[in-house]
Chain A
Amino acid sequence: MKRADLIIFTLVLAAGLIGAYFYFFAGGAGPESTIVIEVNGVVVQTYPLYQEGRDEYVEITGVNGVTRVHLEDGRVQVVDSACPDKVCVNTGWIRNSAQVIACLPNRVIIKIVNAEDGDIDLR
């Protein structure tokens, strides 16, 4: 190869390697702790888990009616829902990774992803 070939080879290789690094490694760094709300398998709302001073009620429309959700700084609970058994309400506050509140009749799921205590995969 001539000198110019070598330069081009080196540049393209470097660009490829740098691109590969960012694509496969750098992108995975520290995703934010998030409250995810799904209805019937579709994400309808997300909120940051931590928001100082938050004391907010939101209404999520499920398949049977409304699920009322209470958000605070670092935790979330269901306060009422269109369901007979209120299993979701009885679940109480969730605040840790992999915790889930499910209102099955209303097809509403609230879960926490990427919380800071993330060493437990399932609860």
Chain B
Amino acid sequence: MGRYVLPLLLAASVALSTAACGKPPQAYEKSFFVMDTLVSVQLYAPSFARAQKCFDLVEAKLAELEGVLSAHLPDSDPAKLAASAGRRPQSVQPDTLAVISLSLEYADKSGGAFDITLAPVLKLYSFSPGREARPDPDRLAETLPLVDWQKVRLDPAGSTVSLAEEGMEVDLGGVAKGYIVDRCLEILRQNGIEYGLINAGGDIGFLGAKPDGSSWRVGIKNPDNPGTNFAVVELSRGALATSGDYERFFLEGDLRYHHIIDPRTGLPAREVRSVTILADSSALADLLSTAVFVLGPREGLALIEELPGVDGLIWDAEGQVLWTSGLESRPDQAGVGYYLRRP
């Protein structure tokens, strides 16, 4: 029998090594409910155990960041900031500092079209069926002076933020989901995951292309018929975010009241119906999709054309589709436009 050992071992090792070289990582997916959003994590891992470890780490990070950043939770930094507004600087977590710092930078670049101090106005609206509400003009006029990003003071050295006037509040809803996606992608990267994505209700961050090297294809909803796509965007890196007026809204006659409010007027922005942003980070894509929505097609496109690594696709109020010079349009297929980033 001994004489068979060598050939057996040899053959087995050749077969195994052939198999090991050809073994692709398997796809795993898990969803979490965080910040009133479904957060879906798709990753390719060499084993179930590795995937499970990543899911556990992501779940813990999601819970931690929600607790820090969500204005609806009593111990969050936005809640503490509201309580100390007009009185004293409030010390905050490094994540909050990072999110507010990025938000103020782009509040400036967008001329106030993106503004985290919109919170007191947002509270005057409700989009829940049966409880629809919008502010009457007097109430809005009283509240609007509290909306001013220039009254937010950031002290990175002391890790504090202060809101200049009592009654001011911050809501990080327009950027926090994207920021959370970026942080969770870091966790995947640190754990050796090369392929995957995180989708937090349309704020999508990618680790890279698909394992076969092809691009991800993301369908963009038609605002007139959100069950269908008007476009498909192909990308293999970075992040994508879409803001649309069809997500949370109610109708008064023909007038649509939706959740993307112009901080300068306190009223829903009406020049566009859907904005998709492609950027290097999910936080940036998230906040720019709101900023461009508020700015409207002309000013919005001008803003993102100036920003390196940022592209965008807009469906305007007339149903016209516009896009930045960094995107290449392929011929429509069955009425759906295909867009990909120029190399």
Contacts and interface: CB of A to CB of B under 8 A. Distances in A.
User: Do A and B make up one complex?
Assistant: yes
Interface of A: 1-2, 4-6, 8-13, 15-17, 19-20, 23-24, 38, 41, 84-86, 91-94, 98, 100, 102, 104, 107, 109, 119-123
Interface of B: 3-4, 6-8, 10-12, 14-16, 18-19, 22-24, 30-33, 36-38, 40, 127-129, 131, 197, 199, 204, 210, 216-219, 221, 227, 229, 232
A51 B4 CA distance: 55
B16 A16 contact: yes
A5 B9 CA distance: 12
A98 B18 contact: no
Contacts of A15: 15
Contact of A109 (B12, B14, B31, B210): B31
Contacts, number: 93
Contact of B217 (A1, A11, A19, A119): A119
Contacts of B6: 5
14 contacts: A5-B4, A8-B4, A8-B7, A13-B15, A16-B16, A17-B18, A20-B22, A38-B31, A84-B128, A100-B40, A102-B38, A107-B33, A120-B219, A123-B229
B229 A120 contact: yes
Given A5-B3, A92-B227, A12 B11 contact: yes
Counting from the closest, the 6 A-B pairs by CB-CB distance are A16-B15, A12-B11, A20-B19, A9-B7, A123-B219, A13-B11
Interface centre among A5, A84, A104, A123 (most CB of B within 10 A): A123
Contacts of B8: 8-9, 12
Contact of B12 (A16, A120, A122): A16
Contacts of A41: 30-32
Contacts of A19: 15
Given A12-B12, A38-B31, A120 B217 contact: yes
Contacts of B10: 9
A6, A17, A91: which has the most chain B beta carbons within 10 Å?
A: A17
Contacts of A12: 7-8, 11-12, 15
Contact of A24 (B23, B127, B210): B23
A87 B3 CA distance: 70
A86 B8 CA distance: 63
A34 to B, nearest CB: 13
Contact of A98 (B3, B16, B219): B219
Contacts of B210: 121
